[in-house]
């Protein structure tokens, strides 16, 4: 029965010209209606990034007014960096047939937005004039949620400094950088000696204010590219890079930094109108790629911090490759 109905429909399309034209017109309108309902931006481009056609249910997301796009290239309407990035995706689709999942941060009339691209080569395009269809989906809301999750995973919620997870990642990078540059770096540990007294006597709210005040002062006492992290509890850590390739000069530079930090960090903190003294013990470990794994560097800095704590509450102690036992 179904076969007879299907064969009858084919005969109508093949031999009943008015009816076939009506069917083709209906299919064309239906397809156009479907394409117009797709929320993604859709573009037809050639290998040079020139626009040949587009459909945009949300024209406010276009990098340029719709009436001006056709005939222009990516480099005509967006930054060179963005155009270059998208052209690489187009090139991949022309070579392999498709490309999907790449994400790009682009400027639009309604602000910067995150887009995910899916690109496929048109089957009827020639090797001399290859064309692609590019679907651009606005994923800003999803991307921002993802970035917020990543931020929470690598940020201390009290001080908003990088946490131990981020610190560990940066330590790996610092060791790799030292291996390629031959320069020394320093890991510095800090312990707030009087923090427990403040926290127990005045409560956790005052303790959190002390941690925030200390974190801000520590960060402001260093260079913008120095990593300042909260290690946990009342301990903080810092990575100082680019100290030079000479061990003696690097050690002197680290000593100078520690002296400066002692002076800055031992000044009283004013919290809710009250003055608090919070002494700090500082332990540092000078290292390069030859000093090995992170655990050894952390252990040496921790040993120096407790050595400083025993000797003088406002003092510091440094371990260097030549002094390491």
Identify whether residues 190 and 94 lie together within a single domain: no
DSSP-based three-state secondary structure for 69 = coil
Domain count, the chain: 2
DSSP-based three-state secondary structure for 20 = helix
pLDDT at position 22, please?
53
Q: What is the DSSP letter of 323?
A: T
Chain centre to alpha carbon of residue 85: 17
Segment 112-118 shows an average pLDDT of 93
pLDDT at position 37, please?
59
- Integer CA distances (angstroms), 105 to 81, 121, 140, in order: 11, 23, 9
Identify whether residues 294 and 172 lie together within a single domain: yes
pLDDT at 82 over 70: yes
In this structure, what CATH number is given to the domain that contains residue 273?
3.30.70.270
Identify whether residues 77 and 131 lie together within a single domain: yes
pLDDT at 197 over 80: yes
pLDDT at 227 over 90: yes
Identify whether residues 160 and 306 lie together within a single domain: yes
Identify whether residues 166 and 256 lie together within a single domain: yes
Identify whether residues 138 and 64 lie together within a single domain: yes
Note whether residue 279 is domain-resident: yes
Identify whether residues 88 and 168 lie together within a single domain: no
Identify whether residues 159 and 219 lie together within a single domain: yes
Identify whether residues 212 and 122 lie together within a single domain: no
How confident is the model over 171-188, as pLDDT tens digits? 999 999 998 899 999 999
Return d(Cα 281, Cα 309) in angstroms, integer. Answer: 5
Identify whether residues 134 and 175 lie together within a single domain: no
- Predicted confidence band at 322 (pLDDT cuts at 50, 70, 90)? low
pLDDT above 70: percentage of residues in the chain: 85
Q: What is the torsion angle, in degrees rounded to the nearest 10, for the CA atoms of residue 283, residue 286, residue 292 and residue 295?
A: 10
**Last residue of a domain, which of 145, 178, 204?**
145
pLDDT at position 6, please?
44
How confident is the model over 19-59, as pLDDT tens digits? 545 554 544 455 556 556 566 899 999 999 999 999 888 88
Note whether residue 20 is domain-resident: no
pLDDT at position 290, please?
77
Which alpha helices (DSSP H) does the chain contain, by range? Answer: 2-15, 17-37, 74-77, 80-96, 140-154, 164-181, 195-202, 204-220, 247-265, 294-311
* Pick from 257, 233, 231: nearest CA to 244: 257
pLDDT at position 325, please?
44
Chain centre to alpha carbon of residue 167: 15
Return d(Cα 305, Cα 157) in angstroms, integer. Answer: 25
Note whether residue 21 is domain-resident: no
Segment 115-129 shows an average pLDDT of 87
pLDDT at position 159, please?
96
- Predicted confidence band at 142 (pLDDT cuts at 50, 70, 90)? very high
Note whether residue 16 is domain-resident: no
In this structure, what CATH number is given to the domain that contains residue 60?
3.30.450.20
pLDDT at 312 over 70: no
Segment 208-237 shows an average pLDDT of 95
Note whether residue 198 is domain-resident: yes
**Last residue of a domain, which of 104, 122, 145?**
145
Instruction: Please provide the average confidence, as pLDDT, over all residues in the chain.
Output: 86
Segment 190-204 shows an average pLDDT of 91
pLDDT at position 193, please?
87
**Last residue of a domain, which of 145, 174, 195?**
145
Segment 196-210 shows an average pLDDT of 93
Segment 233-250 shows an average pLDDT of 95
Identify whether residues 288 and 159 lie together within a single domain: yes
Model-level pTM greater than 0.75? no
Note whether residue 19 is domain-resident: no
Note whether residue 22 is domain-resident: no
Identify whether residues 72 and 101 lie together within a single domain: yes
Note whether residue 25 is domain-resident: no
Q: Are 46 and 130 in contact (CB under 8 A)?
A: yes
> What domain range is 282 assigned to?
155-319
Greater model confidence, 233 or 5 = 233
pLDDT above 90: percentage of residues in the chain: 63
């Amino acid at each position: 029965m179904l076969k007879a109905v299907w064969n009858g429909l084919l005969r109508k399309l093949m031999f009943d010209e008015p009816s076939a034209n009506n069917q083709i017109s209906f299919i064309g309108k239906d397809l156009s209606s479907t394409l117009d309902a797709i929320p993604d931006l859709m573009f037809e481009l050639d290998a040079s990034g020139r626009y040949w056609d587009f459909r945009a249910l949300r024209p406010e997301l276009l990098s340029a007014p719709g009436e001006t796009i056709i005939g222009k290239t990516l480099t005509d309407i967006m930054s060179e960096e963005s155009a270059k990035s998208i052209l690489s995706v187009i090139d991949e689709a022309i070579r392999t047939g498709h490309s999907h999942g790449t994400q790009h941060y682009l400027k639009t009339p309604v602000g910067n937005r995150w887009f995910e691209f899916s690109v496929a080569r048109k089957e009827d395009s020639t090797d001399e004039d290859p064309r692609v269809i590019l679907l651009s989906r606005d994923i800003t809301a999803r991307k921002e949620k993802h970035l917020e999750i990543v931020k929470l995973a690598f940020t201390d919620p009290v001080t908003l400094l990088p946490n131990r997870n981020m610190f560990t990642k940066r330590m790996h990078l610092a060791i790799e950088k030292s291996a390629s540059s031959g320069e020394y770096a320093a890991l510095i540990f800090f312990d707030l000696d009087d923090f427990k007294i403040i926290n127990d006597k005045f409560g956790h709210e005052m303790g959190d204010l002390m941690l925030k005040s200390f974190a801000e002062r520590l960060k402001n006492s260093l260079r913008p590219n120095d990593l300042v992290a909260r290690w946990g509890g009342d301990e903080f850590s810092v990575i100082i890079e680019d100290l030079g390739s000479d061990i003696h000069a690097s050690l002197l530079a680290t000593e100078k930094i520690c002296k400066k930090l002692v002076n800055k960090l031992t000044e009283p903190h004013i919290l809710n109108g009250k003055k608090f003294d919070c002494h700090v013990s500082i332990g540092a470990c000078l290292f390069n790629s030859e000093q090995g794994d992170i655990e050894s560097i952390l252990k040496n800095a921790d040993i120096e911090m407790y050595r400083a704590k025993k000797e003088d509450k406002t003092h510091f102690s440094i371990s260097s490759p030549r002094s390491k036992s």
